[in-house]
Amino acid sequence: MAGLTGRMSTVVKAKVSKLLDRAEDPAETLDYSYQKQVEQLQNVKKGIADVVTAKKRLQMQEATLKQSVVKLDTQARQALSSGNEELARTALERKNVAQTELQGLDTQVSELEEQQQKLTDSEQKLRAKIEAFRTKKEVIKAQYSAAEAQVRISEAATGVGEQMADVGLAMQRAVDKTENMKARADAVSELEAAGTFDDITALGSGEDDIDRQLKSLSSQSAVDDDLSKMKAELGQGAPAAAGEIAAPSGASSGGDGAGAGDGQPAEGGQ
């Protein structure tokens, strides 16, 4: 079979036979192969631990971001009810950035969850094969002549070797995916370090550098929506604004509805 399957099968077989070529005497092949299998099992365990660590880091960031979303929302509400619309807007911009990051983290945590499950399954399969190999190796040692043993050892070692190669591939894919996720985790850390999700009331009246950057990061239409919703809840919105809020579905993803609502907060603010 050519193409996909052929290539993959050839590479795995080559890897396995390279492994077996190391030893010439049957007993040595058995022991060498078994030793490699046990090492591989340790590697898988380490691989799983790495994925779990990466997942925990993302989950901790998620927890922090969730708190920030609640806090910034509360602060926006407080700012608005005390008539400081500018501060409310800043808080909502930060909340919007936090929410966007939160969604990204959520997807990545589920992906890591999936990788962890895959590796755990792979580890169990490999463990079962190694156990079967261990039993078989004793039978081979006890019952067969050297020539016959060589054939049977080769069969068994090839079978387990294939499983090892497969686990190796699964681990490599998990590591690649985990690496990709580090970029987002780092980005969130940077935002945190810059004070993006800090207490908004600690801000002065002026717009600082973080605010200018956040404005470009956050979705202004979502911020406008949030602001007019909040105004309506606090009874500050003009009657027309309340009408718009009654049908928010159109404004949530498309930009059309938000554009129409742009003028509302400024005019009906006080």
Partner 1 sequence: MIVRISGEDQYRLDDSAAARLNELENAVAAIVDGGSEDGFSDAYAALLDFVRSQGQTVGDEEIESSDVILPPSDLTFAEAGREFTGEGLIPD
Residues of this chain that bind partner 1 (CB under 8 A): 1-5, 7-9, 11-13, 15-16, 118, 122, 124-125, 128-129, 131-133, 136, 155-156, 158-162, 165-166, 168-170, 172-173
Cα 109 from Cα 188, distance rounded (Å):
14
Judged by beta carbon, residue 155 or residue 233, the one nearer partner 1 is 155
**Minimal distance in Å, beta carbon 9 to partner 1?**
4
Residue linked to tokens 């808080």:
91
Length of the chain: 270
Choice between 133 and 197, CB closer to partner 1: 133
Measured from the CB atom, is 98 or 157 closer to partner 1? 157
Cα atoms in the Cβ-side hemisphere of radius 13 Å centred on 98: 24
Q: How far is the CB of 126 from partner 1 (least distance, A)?
A: 9
CB of 7 to partner 1, least distance (A): 5
Half-sphere exposure of 150 (CA within 13 A, CB side): 6
Contact 109, 66 (CB under 8 A): no
Shorter beta-carbon distance to partner 1: residue 165 or 227: 165
Distance (Å, whole) CA 153 – CA 141: 9
Structure tokens of 231?
């105004």
Shortest distance in whole angstroms from residue 24 CB to partner 1: 21
Which residue lies nearer to partner 1 by CB, 45 or 125? 125
Q: How far is the CB of 196 from partner 1 (least distance, A)?
A: 33
Alpha helices in the chain (DSSP H): 3-21, 26-81, 85-143, 146-193, 209-217, 220-233, 239-245, 249-253, 256-261, 263-268
